[in-house]
Structure 1
C-alpha cells in the first residue's frame, strides 16, 4: 500500500489532481491511498500522523513553503519521494531543492499525464530500493550468525520472564549480545511468514532460515532510525523486535506509534518484493516496562496464530489499542459500512477505516472484497450514487450543496463522476425524474 499526498493552496489544482489520481488508481487497481490538503501546515499535521510515500506539492505556498516542507518530510519519513509543481519563474527556486538530490520538479504547464508518469517512476524507485535493501540485509546477516545465536537465547528468556530485569544483572547478561536498559520502556513488535505459501517458496530449513534472517535484519534497519532495536527469531519462526528509546531520550516520541506502523508496512512490502513471501505483523498498543514483556509477547503470538485461519497471501498488520478486542467478520464489515455511511461528506480514507478495525489497509481492502464482492472504493461510490439520487429527487436542494454533502468538493467534480456512472449529468437526471 502506497500513500500519496497532494498539496496545493489553490483548491482547483489540488482537487483536479486528486480526482485524476483517484480515477487512475481505480482503473489500474492500484494499492494506493490518496490524500489532498490545501496548505503546507495541513501537510505537516498529516505527516506527523502517518507514513507518506510520495508527495506532490506546489513549491510556492504561503506559510510553509516547498523547501521547508521538504526539510520536514526528510526528518519524518526519510524514504519519502517529493515532486514539486512549479512555474517557469520559480525554476531557480526549484533547482535549489533538486540540487539536494531528494526531489523532482514538473512544470505546471506539462499536465496531469506528466505528474502521473512521475509518480509511477517514484513507485518503481521505491520498489528498487526495497529490493536493494533486501540484498544488503542478506549479505549482512551472514556476518552475524554467532552473535544472533547468543542474542536469541538471551532475549527469548526475557520474553518468557526467565531473564533478570534489574539493572545490575541485566547489564551483565546483556553483554552476551543484546543490551536492554531496565529503566526504559520497551515497545514490542512481532512478525511471522504466512503458511503454507512460505514453505512452498522456501522448501528447506536453510532457505527458510535465510529468509527469516533477512526479514529480521530488514526490520531492524527500518526501525533503528527512531529506536534502539534488538531482533530475534523466537520459537515457531516468530520474528520479534524489542524497541527502546534511543540513548539520551527518556521516552518514545508521541508519533512513534504511526512510525512503527508505517515501517512494519514497509517491511511487508520489502518481503513481498524481494522474497515473494507474505509477512503478517502485530505490535503492542503502547510501550511497557520489562516486566510487561511476557504478557505482551503472548498476546502478539495469539494475534499471529489467529492469522493462520485467514486466506493465504494476505498479510495482516495489527496495531492493538487499549480496550481493543477481536471482531467477527460480520462485525468488521458492519463497522466499516456504518462509518462510511456516516462520513459520505468527507474523503473516506482507507487508512482511517483500517484503524477502526485494527487491520492493515491492504488486508482490509482484500478482506472487504472477499466478503462483499465489492472493493471499498466501489462500495463507497455506490453509496454516494444512491444518496445523490435521493437528494436530486428534491428540487429544492442545489447541485452544489449535494456535491459538498457527498464529499465531491465542487459541482464540477460531482457532475463528472455522476455522468461517468449514470451516462447523464445530475441536472439531466433531475429533469428526467420530474417529467
Structure 2
C-alpha cells in the first residue's frame, strides 16, 4: 500500500479528489492534502509520501518547483501533474522525464485512477527489483563479513540455534566451518596505553589487529572473527584443509601438535602487534572444542581467565588447561543466553517469556543443577527482571506481586525448584495481564479523546493531522488503532458525523443549505452537496423534502 499527497490551491478540488475517489482500489492507503507547495513540503518532511498529484499554477512555489524540490531529497517519490491545458503544454517542455503522467483538468475519476495506478505499478516494479534474488545476493556478498561476525557473536553468546539455522548460515555465508569440526578460540584484549601513537581510532586499531591476525593465522588456519561486548577481539580457528593434510602425511595429526601450532601463531600475532602497531595486546587461547556446540563454553572459559588474571600486567598470554577443576560451579546457561528474560519482558513477548521460564526451570531440574547456589542464582536473576519490568511500566512491586512479595523480601522461604517455578509463572501471568489491561485502557482513552475532539470541532476542517496532534500520535498509527478499535476508518468516521449532523439540521431546522454547509465545516456548497448525495443517495434539498412529506 502507498500514500498519496494531493496538492492544489483550490480547496474544493483537493477535498473532492481526496474524498470521492475510491483510492483503496489501487493500493492507496492514506491520502494527504495540501493547499500550497509550502504545506506540501511540510507534509513531505513528516510523512512517508510515495505519490504526489499536483497542480502547476500555485502562489509562491509552483507545482514544477515543488517537483524539483521533491526530487532533490526523495527521488523515489512519483509525481503526477493535474493542471490546465496551457500549463500542460508548459509542463511537457519543462518536465520531460520527471513525472509519471500529465492530466488535463477536468479529468474523470477513471482517468485520475489510471494515472495514479500507473505510478503504483512503477513503484511495484522498483520494489520488486529491490527484493530481487540477484540484488539480494549482491548485497549479501557486500555484507558477508558483517554477517559472519554477527553469526560468531551469536554462537559465543550462547544463542540457541537449531541445526537447520546453523547449516543455513554455514552454507549461505560460505563459512569454512562445518558442524562438529574441531576448533579453538583466541580472545584478544587491546591494552590501554598512555603512549601517543598513530592508532588513536579504536576502529582503525581493531582493523589493523584483524589484518595482522589474518596474515598470521591464515597460513595454517581457517578463521572467523568478531568483536564482543567487552571490546575483545575473538577469533574462532581450525586447521585449514591444506595444513591438516600435511600433518596427516607426516603422521603428526594430534590435538597437541595442532594446539602447539595455534600457540606459536598467537605468539607471533602478539609480537607483530607490538612491533608494528606499538600496542600491547593480551590474549587467551582456549582448549579444543567442537563447532558450534562448545564455542560458548570455550568463550566463557577465556573470559573467566582474563577476569582471574592478577595485576596490571600488559601483554598477558594464557593457554587454558585441558582439565577443569571438578569443584568449579558453572553458571546457568539459560539465564544468560540471548534473548534474556529481561529482554523478553522489555519486548512484551508473553509466549517467549513463559518459554524462557520453562527453560530455566528445566536446566535447574537437571542432575547437579538444583543446588541452593543455582536456585539462588536463578531466583535473583528472575527477580531482577520482574522488578525492572514492573517499575518500567510505572507500577509498584506490591501492586503486581501482592502476597507473593514476601518471597522477594524473605528469600529464605525459597526451598525448591517447584516453588520457584510456581512463583515465576504466577508473576509473569499477573504482569502481562496488567500490561494488556493498560494497553486496552490506553487505546480506549485515545479513541474517546479522538471522538470528543471531532465532535467539538465538527464545524471546522477536521484533518487527520490535527486529530493526531491533539492526541500526540503519528497519523498512520492513529488511523490503525482507530480502525482496530472501532472497525471504521477515521476519515469515514469524520464524514459520517458531518453527514449525520447535516441530516439532523435538514430535518429539524430551517437553515439554508449553505448555512448547514458552514455548520459542518465545508466552505463550498457544491462540494457538500456532492458528498451528501454520495452518502445518502439524494441531494440535501431532496432529503429535506422527503422528510417533510
TM-score (norm 1): 0.55
Change (3 A) 1:360 1:68: closer
1:181-196 matches, within 5 Å, as: none
Task: Kindly indicate whether residue 101 of structure 2 is the aligned counterpart of residue 104 of structure 1.
Answer: yes
Please say if residues 529 and 539 of structure 2, whose CA atoms lie closer than 8 Å, have aligned partners that are also in contact. yes
Change (3 A) 1:349 1:108: same
Structure with the bigger RCO (C-alpha within 8 Å, sep 6+) is: 1
Please say if residues 5 and 54 of structure 1, whose CA atoms lie closer than 8 Å, have aligned partners that are also in contact. yes
Task: Kindly indicate whether residue 149 of structure 2 is the aligned counterpart of residue 150 of structure 1.
Answer: yes
In the alignment, the residues of structure 1 paired with residue 483 and residue 462 of structure 2 have an alpha-carbon distance, to the nearest angstrom, of 20
- Report what 1:10 is aligned to: 10
Change (3 A) 1:392 1:92: closer
In the alignment, the residues of structure 2 paired with residue 336 and residue 54 of structure 1 have an alpha-carbon distance, to the nearest angstrom, of 28
Change (3 A) 1:127 1:370: same
User: Please, which of 66, 71, 74 is the counterpart of residue 68 of structure 2?
Assistant: 71
Q: Deviations over 1:151-187 (max 9, x none)?
A: 6778999xxxxx99x98446545777999xxxxxxxx
Change (3 A) 1:108 1:48: same
Change (3 A) 1:118 1:341: same
In the alignment, the residues of structure 1 paired with residue 155 and residue 62 of structure 2 have an alpha-carbon distance, to the nearest angstrom, of 48
- Report what 1:272 is aligned to: none
- Report what 2:44 is aligned to: 47
In the alignment, the residues of structure 1 paired with residue 510 and residue 528 of structure 2 have an alpha-carbon distance, to the nearest angstrom, of 18
In the alignment, the residues of structure 1 paired with residue 479 and residue 352 of structure 2 have an alpha-carbon distance, to the nearest angstrom, of 19
Please say if residues 51 and 77 of structure 1, whose CA atoms lie closer than 8 Å, have aligned partners that are also in contact. no
In the alignment, the residues of structure 1 paired with residue 138 and residue 5 of structure 2 have an alpha-carbon distance, to the nearest angstrom, of 34
Secondary structure of 1:416's counterpart equals helix
Runs of 4+ in 1 over 6 A off after TM superposition: 152-157, 174-179, 298-301, 306-309
In the alignment, the residues of structure 1 paired with residue 351 and residue 117 of structure 2 have an alpha-carbon distance, to the nearest angstrom, of 32
Please say if residues 98 and 104 of structure 1, whose CA atoms lie closer than 8 Å, have aligned partners that are also in contact. no
Deviation at 1:125, TM superposition (A): 1.3
Change (3 A) 1:121 1:327: same
Change (3 A) 1:383 1:86: closer
Q: Deviations over 1:221-249 (max 9, x none)?
A: xxxxxxxxxxxxxxxxxxxxxxxxxxxxx
Please say if residues 8 and 57 of structure 1, whose CA atoms lie closer than 8 Å, have aligned partners that are also in contact. yes
- Report what 1:262 is aligned to: none
Deviation at 1:118, TM superposition (A): 0.5
In the alignment, the residues of structure 2 paired with residue 307 and residue 379 of structure 1 have an alpha-carbon distance, to the nearest angstrom, of 35
- Report what 1:420 is aligned to: 534
Q: Over alpha carbons, which structure has the higher Rg?
A: 2
In the alignment, the residues of structure 1 paired with residue 10 and residue 49 of structure 2 have an alpha-carbon distance, to the nearest angstrom, of 21
Deviation at 1:40, TM superposition (A): 1.9
In the alignment, the residues of structure 2 paired with residue 42 and residue 67 of structure 1 have an alpha-carbon distance, to the nearest angstrom, of 15
- Report what 2:136 is aligned to: 138
Tell me, which stretches of 5 or more residues in structure 1 are unaligned? 158-162, 180-297, 310-322
In the alignment, the residues of structure 2 paired with residue 149 and residue 69 of structure 1 have an alpha-carbon distance, to the nearest angstrom, of 45
Tell me, which stretches of 5 or more residues in structure 2 are unaligned? 157-188, 193-199, 211-224, 228-341, 354-393, 395-434
- Report what 1:349 is aligned to: 464
User: Please, which of 300, 311, 330 is the counterpart of residue 444 of structure 2?
Assistant: 330
Deviation at 1:49, TM superposition (A): 2.3
- Report what 2:502 is aligned to: 388
Deviation at 1:133, TM superposition (A): 0.6
Please say if residues 26 and 117 of structure 2, whose CA atoms lie closer than 8 Å, have aligned partners that are also in contact. no
Please say if residues 52 and 77 of structure 1, whose CA atoms lie closer than 8 Å, have aligned partners that are also in contact. no
In the alignment, the residues of structure 1 paired with residue 50 and residue 94 of structure 2 have an alpha-carbon distance, to the nearest angstrom, of 18
Deviation at 1:73, TM superposition (A): 0.9
Change (3 A) 1:12 1:145: same
1:196-235 matches, within 5 Å, as: none
Secondary structure of 1:52's counterpart equals coil
In the alignment, the residues of structure 1 paired with residue 495 and residue 473 of structure 2 have an alpha-carbon distance, to the nearest angstrom, of 23
Secondary structure of 1:62's counterpart equals coil
Change (3 A) 1:15 1:147: closer
Alpha-carbon RMSD across the aligned residues, in angstroms, is 4.3
Q: Deviations over 1:125-164 (max 9, x none)?
A: 112211211125412343122332326778999xxxxx99
Task: Kindly indicate whether residue 50 of structure 2 is the aligned counterpart of residue 60 of structure 1.
Answer: no
Task: Kindly indicate whether residue 333 of structure 2 is the aligned counterpart of residue 302 of structure 1.
Answer: no
Change (3 A) 1:395 1:93: same
> Which segment is superposed worse, 74-83 or 91-100?
91-100
Secondary structure of 1:118's counterpart equals helix
User: Please, which of 78, 81, 88 is the counterpart of residue 81 of structure 1?
Assistant: 78
TM-score (norm 2): 0.45
In the alignment, the residues of structure 1 paired with residue 489 and residue 50 of structure 2 have an alpha-carbon distance, to the nearest angstrom, of 23
User: Please, which of 120, 125, 132 is the counterpart of residue 123 of structure 1?
Assistant: 120
Deviation at 1:352, TM superposition (A): 5.5
In the alignment, the residues of structure 2 paired with residue 151 and residue 90 of structure 1 have an alpha-carbon distance, to the nearest angstrom, of 55
In the alignment, the residues of structure 1 paired with residue 118 and residue 348 of structure 2 have an alpha-carbon distance, to the nearest angstrom, of 34
Equivalenced residues, count: 293
In the alignment, the residues of structure 2 paired with residue 59 and residue 380 of structure 1 have an alpha-carbon distance, to the nearest angstrom, of 30
